Chain A
Amino acid sequence: DAKTTQPPSMDCAEGRAANLPCNHSTISGNEYVYWYRQIHSQGPQYIIHGLKNNETNEMASLIITEDRKSSTLILPHATLRDTAVYYCIVRVSVGSGGSNYKLTFGKGTLLTVNP
């Protein structure tokens, strides 16, 4: 089962920042938080990931609370093309050696960006 909780839907005005929350209260100290999005039925698209520190890339920023029990994905200037389902995922190690992992998707948040 997914180890995260997200609101089922959110709306955002075009040009505004979209702030998508995620709770992961049972996260372990060495587990990463990943964000992906899925537009219609396309393949999930990687956005960003982090462990403890806040992260920023060309797509988004990831703010992780100090206790790591929650995080927020920020799209600084949302566009209509950002309408998608956004998934917050805690990475789960698989196999031996600790180098491999699987992604356990939840239901995500449907972000609708309105004109």
Chain B
Amino acid sequence: EPEVTQTPSHQVTQMGQEVILRCVPISNHLYFYWYRQILGQKVEFLVSFYNNEISEKSEIFDDQFSVERPDGSNFTLKIRSTKLEDSAMYFCASRSDGTDTQYFGPGTRLTVL
């Protein structure tokens, strides 16, 4: 069964550094999402991406965040200058055009020191 994959599984970085989290959505999917979950808290929506543009973003998704689909298979989330409070699990999800279901990847644990 096709799955969403994410790399790396765990990323440790210093505060102020840039990080790029990578996702490979399910191959025929056209809608892409990022969510995050701070330890012990709820899963929060960050951004939705469709047709090579952001279709919705939350207030968390400020100028420090960006998303890109660089090569038709990967979907990336970049944090330009990480802060301690960016430490969280980041989940990528994807959905095909003809279905109502978002499928999530296993997540990347980001630790900012």
Q: Which residues of A contact B (CB under 8 A)?
A: 2, 32, 36, 38, 41-46, 49, 87, 91, 94-96, 99-100, 102-107
Q: How far is the CB of B31 from chain A (nearest CB, A)?
A: 6
Complex interface: stretch among B63-71, B72-80, B102-110: B102-110
Please indicate the chain B residues that have their CB under 8 angstroms from the CB of A99 in the complex.
97
Within 8 A of A (CB), among B31-84: 31, 33, 35, 37, 42-45, 48, 50, 55-56
Is the beta-carbon distance between A100 and B43 smaller than 8 angstroms? no
Q: How large is the interface on B (under 10, 10 to 19, 20 to 34, 35 or more residues)?
A: 20 to 34
Nearest residue, chain B, Cβ from A51: B100
| Cβ-defined partner of A43 (8 Å) among B31, B55, B100, B104 | B104
Across the two chains, which residue of chain B brings its CB closest to A93? B56
Within 8 Å by CB of A94, from B56, B103, B107, lies B56
Contacts of A46 in B (CB 8 A): 101-104
Given contacts A38-B43, A43-B107, A103-B35, 15 further A-B contacts (CB under 8 A): A32-B100, A41-B89, A42-B107, A43-B105, A46-B101, A46-B102, A46-B103, A49-B100, A95-B55, A95-B56, A99-B97, A103-B45, A103-B102, A105-B43, A106-B42
The CA of A94 and the CA of B107, in the complex, are separated in Å by 23
Question: CA of A103 to CA of B103 in the docked complex: distance in angstroms?
Answer: 11
A40 to chain B, nearest CB (A): 10
A and B contact pairs by CB, cutoff 8 A, 9 listed: A2-B42, A42-B106, A44-B43, A46-B101, A49-B100, A95-B48, A102-B45, A102-B48, A105-B43
Cα-based distance from A2 to B56 in the complex (angstroms): 17
CA–CA, A33 and B89, complex, Å: 25
